[in-house]
């Protein structure tokens, strides 16, 4: 078992489509000063870590229908079948792609959980008036990347050596930086150069953004071994 999210960034014209799968894993801690977002779970203090399990990038110009088919196939693999939730960036692709995913889900090709669309908008939510922060229905790209950056800097995003495309993802991560929009003064997370791609970073950021409880996370024991929880109550919503 495992608790997985597939982040999917859908490319347009000159951009790749890319997917990253992460597994949310509980790190049990006895530290006197645990991370701020640590919490009590089944009488143990834990915090979330995210282990990258799969990275995929499609060739430029790949039709969205082919991407949907490949993602559906990925979600039917033994490791992810019934345990993965798909979160995809619907910004700028229109409703047609969402309809493709919905059709695949209703046909039983997308596993147990309905795909979730995310529309990204620029900047950070803090740039908006307080009464407007939750009214747009969109997710701010700055918030999305800031969460990933915070987790990554704390060593809570685990990227296994030798995983295909791991080196490309690391390169994209290093190319991201905080910039200031000269017109608005707002801070933005963007690639250093226009020629730098960010599809894998966005896919990874999506995969650590959505935290679901449909499947019981595994945990790391004191020796760093990944284990199923013998003490926990199952949470799968089947």
Give residue limits of the domains in the chain: 4-224
One-character DSSP codes across the chain: ---EEEEEEPP-TTS--EEEEEEEEEEE---SS--TT-EEETTEEEEEEEEEEEEEEPPTT--HHHHHHHHHHHHTSTTTTTTEEEEEE-TTTHHHHHHHHHHHHHTT-S-SS--EEE-EESS-GGGS-GGGTTTS--EEHHHHHHHHHHHHHTT-EE--TT-TTHHHHHHHHHHEEEEE-TTT--EEEEESSTTS--HHHHHHHHHHH----SS--EEE-TTS-EE--SSSPP----
Mean pLDDT for 80-108 is: 90
How large a percentage of the chain has pLDDT more than 90?
43
pLDDT, one tens digit per residue, over 151-200 is: 998 999 999 989 999 999 998 888 876 554 556 545 455 555 544 688 99
Domain covering 4-224, topology:
Nucleotidyltransferase; domain 5 (3.30.420)
Q: pTM of the prediction? A: 0.84
pLDDT of residue 54: 97
């Amino acid at each position: 078992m495992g608790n997985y999210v597939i982040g999917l960034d859908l490319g347009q014209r000159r951009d790749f489509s890319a997917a990253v799968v992460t597994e949310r894993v509980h790190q049990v801690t006895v530290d006197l000063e645990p991370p701020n977002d640590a919490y009590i779970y089944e009488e143990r203090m834990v915090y979330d870590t995210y282990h990258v399990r799969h990275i995929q990038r499609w060739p430029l110009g790949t039709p969205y229908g082919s991407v949907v088919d490949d993602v559906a196939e990925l979600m039917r693999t033994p490791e992810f079948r019934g345990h993965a939730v798909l979160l995809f960036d619907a910004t700028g692709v229109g409703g047609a792609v969402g309809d493709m995913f919905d059709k695949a889900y209703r046909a039983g090709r997308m596993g147990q959980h309905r795909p979730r669309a995310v529309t990204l908008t620029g900047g950070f939510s803090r740039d908006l008036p307080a009464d407007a922060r939750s009214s747009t229905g969109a997710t701010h790209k700055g918030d999305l990347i800031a969460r990933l950056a915070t987790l990554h800097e704390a060593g809570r995003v685990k990227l296994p050596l030798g995983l295909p495309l791991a080196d490309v993802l690391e390169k994209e991560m290093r190319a991201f930086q905080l910039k200031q929009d000269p017109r608005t003064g707002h801070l933005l997370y963007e690639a250093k150069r226009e020629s730098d791609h960010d599809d894998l970073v966005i896919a990874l950021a999506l995969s650590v953004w959505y935290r679901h409880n449909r499947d019981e996370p595994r945990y790391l024991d004191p020796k760093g071994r990944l284990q199923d929880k013998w003490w926990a109550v199952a949470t799968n919503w089947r």
